[in-house]
Every structure is written in C-alpha cells, then in structure tokens.
Amino acid sequence: MDTKIVVFTCFVGAVTAGVLAPLPAARLDPFPQYSYGYDVQDALTGDYKGHQEHRNGDLVTGSYTVVDPDGTRRIVDYAADPLNGFNAVVRREPLLVTSPARVVAPAPVLAPASAPLAAAPLVAPAPLYSRAPVFAPAPAPLLAPRLPSPYFF
C-alpha cells in the first residue's frame, strides 16, 4: 500500500513539474460544413421516414418526415444558429393513400370438411386503400404469480 502512495506522489510531482508532456488538444474545425440525408421506404413494415440536414459554420438547417401511426405524415423543418437558438416548425398532412402492408386483412373463415361449400360464410377482403390503418389488439400481458415477501409476516 505504501508503494502505491509513493508512486502516485511521484507521478503527481512529475506532472506538476512539467517533466511529462501534456496530451495534445483535439483540433477543432473553426468553420464546419457538412450535408447529409437519408430516406427509408419499407413497404413490408410500413416504415416511411426521411431526414436531410445541412451545416455551414454555425448555421444548421434541415427537415425530417415520419409517418405517424394515426395515418398522418409529420414534417418538421428546423434551423439552429447561435443568435436564435433552435427553432422548429411542425406540420401534419393526412396521407391520401396508405400502404397495403399497413392494412390488416381479416382471416378467412373456413368451413369444416363435412359441410358443403355453400354453407361457409363469405368474408369481404379489406380495402387496399384506407385513411386510417387497422391494428390488431395488443396481447394481454403475461403476469408472474406474486410470491410472498420475506419482509412481511
């Protein structure tokens, strides 16, 4: 234990005396510039979103879009600078056509093998275009049995 204290004291003394060189400071770009963007259109999962951003020095501008679960497209345009800070304008637009992947079609009702085909009820397919997506109810949560607490008698 005494050895660790002696080594630590020698190290602190060497650093304060200037024997060890300090770590070099990270270089910062005085006028950073970049531009990027992406666009996701996944018909299988119904994931539609995009983002574009541009930076020129301290001025950052951009926008992003995302399709919300309620069937609207949210568009956010933003700008940030040292004088005004971060400002965003949010717009919402209804989708005129939703993806067929977002509509859940009902399962067909099949007749038993012994029943004639005419006895089977007819099920109309779900429409391909809908203003609001149709969602299945969430499954009930799986709860574990409560065990008695060892702290209460």
Per domain, the residue ranges of the chain are 33-97
| pLDDT for the residue 141 | 62
| pLDDT for the residue 76 | 95
Q: What is the pLDDT of residues 75-126, one digit of tens each?
A: 999 999 999 999 999 999 988 754 555 545 555 555 555 555 554 455 555 5
Q: What is the pLDDT of residues 31-68, one digit of tens each?
A: 889 999 999 988 888 888 999 999 999 999 999 999 88
For residue 3, pLDDT beyond 60: yes
Alpha-carbon dihedral of residues 64, 69, 71, 74, nearest 10 degrees? -20
Q: What is the pLDDT of residues 128-141, one digit of tens each?
A: 555 555 555 666 66
Distance CA 127, CA 90 (A): 31
- Residue 5 phi/psi, 5-degree rounding, is -65, -40
The token pair at 133 is 């997506």
- Amino acid occupying residue 82: P
Distance CA 54, CA 72 (A): 26
